[in-house]
Amino acid sequence: MCGAEPDEPVVCVLCDRPIPPDARSSLHHLTPRLKGGTHRGTVRLHQICHSAIHARYTEAEIARHLAAPEALRDDPELSRFVAWVRTKPNDFHAPTRRARGRTAKWR
């Protein structure tokens, strides 16, 4: 579901920046596997973008409200992160902490 031709760079669905071949990236299940998304769609994200989603939301919240690329991009909390990360180089990565007050990711 990444949608890139062999010569085209893969673009992160969340921050809309290219993902260089040597950058840390991962596949994100739009519906979490724990919530039935094992065989549903995935998208390629920078690892920092993927970590930001899971640091802010539980698996249940992602399944209920953020199971589409548009929903991820339109989310107010994620949009603040996106505005910040867009100022970084395309291969930027930093550790991500779980947001304060968040419950365990499997809830």
Is there a domain that residue 80 lies in?
A: yes
Domain total of the chain: 1
Is there a domain that residue 91 lies in?
A: no
Is there a domain that residue 107 lies in?
A: no
* CA–CA separation, 99 and 54 (whole Å): 9
Is there a domain that residue 71 lies in?
A: yes
Is there a domain that residue 33 lies in?
A: yes
Is there a domain that residue 23 lies in?
A: yes
Relative to beta strand 18-19, strand 25-29 is unpaired
- Residue 35 pLDDT: 82
Per-residue pLDDT tens listing for the chain (107 residues): 455 556 678 999 999 999 999 999 999 999 888 787 677 889 999 999 999 999 999 999 999 999 999 999 999 999 999 999 999 999 999 887 766 555 554 44
Q: Rg (Cα) of the chain, in Å, rounded?
A: 13
Is there a domain that residue 34 lies in?
A: yes
Q: Show the domain range for 29.
A: 10-85
Is there a domain that residue 26 lies in?
A: yes
